[in-house]
Structure 1
Amino acid sequence: MDVLSEILQTLHLKASVFLHACFRGEWAVDTSGQRRATFHLVASGGCWLHMPDSEEPIPLAGDDLIVFPHDARHTISNSQYPVADDFPRNQLPDDSTGGPGVTLICGYFDFDRDSWNPLIEALPAVMIIRNDGITSIPFSHSLRHLLIHEIEAAQMGSRLVIDKLSEVLFINTIRHHLKSDSDVGFLAALADKKIGKVLSRIHETPAHTWSVERLAQVAGMSRSAFSGRFTQLVGLSPMHYLSRWRMSRAHNLFQSGDQSVAQVAELSGYQSEAAFAKAFKKQFGYGPGAARKAARHTQLKAGS
């Protein structure tokens, strides 16, 4: 079971580019506050990233990719000094301004935020992939150059290609983060040989009658050692994680299929529809019937 692929599929990820421009002189770009994940790709030139929680500005160079999964406050500008509060932001560049330019590509990553997702929750406020020549993620450098080329070429069908390349860009960014030195968190749990095996089994058969003892056997660990290690890495107890993932998967089944509440309850490991409905409402604040009805309405609207 490729846990990462399954979790990414439940995100219903969609990406889009909304800005491709060359800035000169004094300028500032700030896309925070949109309640959306954003990214910035420096196609050429050099600039600076400013974040309220960072004491020092972060220098950026051509081919650097910056991703904000949680809509963290930030400003990208020409200056290494913080931008004044009253300085105009997000203004289209004036072509008459001379001097060296900085070309930026900016876009959004949209995904399902209604249900809990351990992957998104585990991502940091900002992820930066540098053009340092040592990035170990296959095709990372080539992918960014392909995106830049597709945007600048403006060929027929480019919009769809650009959006799809941007989606792959997000996945590659997560792969890059998986190879970081972090030893705690969900991504570290995926990389852990024993806990990763347990997560794979949970995601492969979430409806199975799992217990801490059975999961510990999968990991090849004692009950106490497994429970402690799982909780340390994931931030949730094994059974709490299982429960939350079952509910997230159930929510996704309502969105992407036409199963009845009883069918989804069974697929989620519940023998009682009433118990399933109670657990579902506790996590989402509304019942499975309402979720199924809303999903059907969305599907019918999309098909009309």
Structure 2
Amino acid sequence: MTELDAILSDVDFEGWFFCESQLTAPWGLALPGGRLAAVHAVLEGRCRIDLGPIGISRDLEAGDVAFLPLDTPHSLRSSPDVEAIPVADVPGLDRRDRRMVRLEHGGGGDQVTLLTASFRTAGSLPPVSLAGIDPLIVIPAESHAKLGLLLNLCRTEHHSNAFAQPAVLRRLSELLFLVTLQVLAERGSSKTGWFSTINDPRYGRVLEAVYTRPGDAWSLNRLAEIAGMSRASFARGFRQRLGVTPLAYLTMIRLDRAAAGLAKSRQLISRIALQCGYNSVPSFTRAFVKARGLTPSQFRRQAQMSRSEY
């Protein structure tokens, strides 16, 4: 099992925003971004997506899946000349139910059906994992059999009005996210970023070792040995690819794993700390507070409350 396989197997979604939208021209929505990632699947019709702050725009058609790795602030609209209003200001939109939001909006013209999901996870997928790739990736479903199958399932479920339809659509959106990551890994051709790093045998061995055994007493020398490189060359190449040092990446993986353990288990904090490479609770707590802004106990309470809502 590669690191990618292990990570995708461990991803545990804590939904933030999931929406099935029926939109009629003219319409425009501005989305704030800021979560781990966002996926827009166009089930019917066509629209335009704009990443205003970085000047990227694409036209989307039925069957397209738009993937924003870091959920950059963006807008969706029926045509370029339509003003986009903040999604939170759309009349009648009630976001208290995070499990399923239905949105009907627009001026009564040509219709677009969108399946939108922005995600929060309970660990196992740190943001650095999605760094280094394009801020907007559009994949036509027809170019990938599995994506096409998922979109067909989404369309079928959307029109079915069947029992448990919201839950089925939500889980289908999670599968869209995971399969999109598979496509990106298969197509990874850039020289930087996480996907290119795990596809390099030298660095891939290191990422797999760190991810599968975060509690080991890792050092820069040990990691360089696994890569079969000199310490200096390994450290320099790692930072060029991922934008962080090997030991900083190790810390992120450890704390990410700890966060997942705190959210999902009742294990003692001391045991979770030890499993993640920290020999004392005080040192673990200091590192966790620095990264998350909460003590492990506070994070556990907040995470478990969130899971009960989800």
The question of a shared fold, defined as TM-score above 0.5 by the shorter chain, is answered with yes
Structure 1 residue 54 displacement after superposition: 6.1
Out of 185, 200, 209, the residue aligned to residue 192 of structure 1 is 200
CA distance in 2, matches of 1:20, 1:85: 15
Cα deviation, 1:23-78, whole Å, max 9, x if unaligned, reads 2xx41231402645543322233333333246574222221111334443333333
CA distance in 2, matches of 1:255, 1:161: 24
**Structure 1 residues 252, 213: CA separation in 2 closer, same or farther (over 3 Å shift)?**
same
Q: Match of 1:27?
A: 26
CA distance in 2, matches of 1:54, 1:277: 37
Structure 1 residue 171 displacement after superposition: 0.8
CA distance in 2, matches of 1:14, 1:109: 7
**Structure 1 residues 42, 282: CA separation in 2 closer, same or farther (over 3 Å shift)?**
closer
Structure 1 residue 275 displacement after superposition: 2.0
CA distance in 2, matches of 1:293, 1:47: 41
Structure 1 residue 202 displacement after superposition: 0.7
- Pairwise mapping of residues 38-77 of structure 1 onto structure 2 (< 5 A)? 38-53=38-53, 57-77=57-77
Normalising by structure 1, report the TM-score: 0.81
The letter for the 1-side match of 2:27 is A
Cα deviation, 1:191-240, whole Å, max 9, x if unaligned, reads 22211111001111111111122112212222222222222112111111
Q: Match of 1:3?
A: 3
Out of 117, 137, 150, the residue aligned to residue 127 of structure 1 is 137
CA distance in 2, matches of 1:212, 1:237: 10
Q: Aligned with 2:121: secondary structure?
A: coil
Q: Match of 2:169?
A: 162
Q: Match of 2:294?
A: 286
For structure 1, which runs of at least 5 residues remain unmatched after alignment? none
Q: Match of 1:209?
A: 217
**Which shifted more, 57-66 or 206-215?**
57-66
Q: Match of 1:224?
A: 232
CA distance in 2, matches of 1:73, 1:288: 30
Structure 1 residue 173 displacement after superposition: 1.5
**Which shifted more, 102-111 or 168-177?**
102-111
**Which shifted more, 198-207 or 101-110?**
101-110
Cα deviation, 1:144-180, whole Å, max 9, x if unaligned, reads 1111111112222322221111100011112222214
RMSD: 3.2
Q: Aligned with 1:27: secondary structure?
A: coil
Q: Aligned with 1:50: secondary structure?
A: strand
Q: Aligned with 2:20: secondary structure?
A: strand
Cα deviation, 1:101-121, whole Å, max 9, x if unaligned, reads 343223223213899543245
- Give the conservation status (yes or no) of the 8 Å contact 1:15–1:163: no
| 1:110 counterpart = 2:111 | no
Give 1 or 2 for the bigger CA radius of gyration: 1
**Structure 1 residues 272, 47: CA separation in 2 closer, same or farther (over 3 Å shift)?**
closer
Indicate the structure with greater strand content: 2
- Give the conservation status (yes or no) of the 8 Å contact 1:7–1:117: no
Normalising by structure 2, report the TM-score: 0.80
Identity level (%)? 23
- Give the conservation status (yes or no) of the 8 Å contact 2:129–2:194: yes
Structure 1 residue 5 displacement after superposition: 4.3
For structure 2, which runs of at least 5 residues remain unmatched after alignment? 91-103
Structure 1 residue 86 displacement after superposition: 8.0
Q: Aligned with 1:236: secondary structure?
A: coil
Q: Match of 2:147?
A: 140
- Give the conservation status (yes or no) of the 8 Å contact 1:10–1:249: no
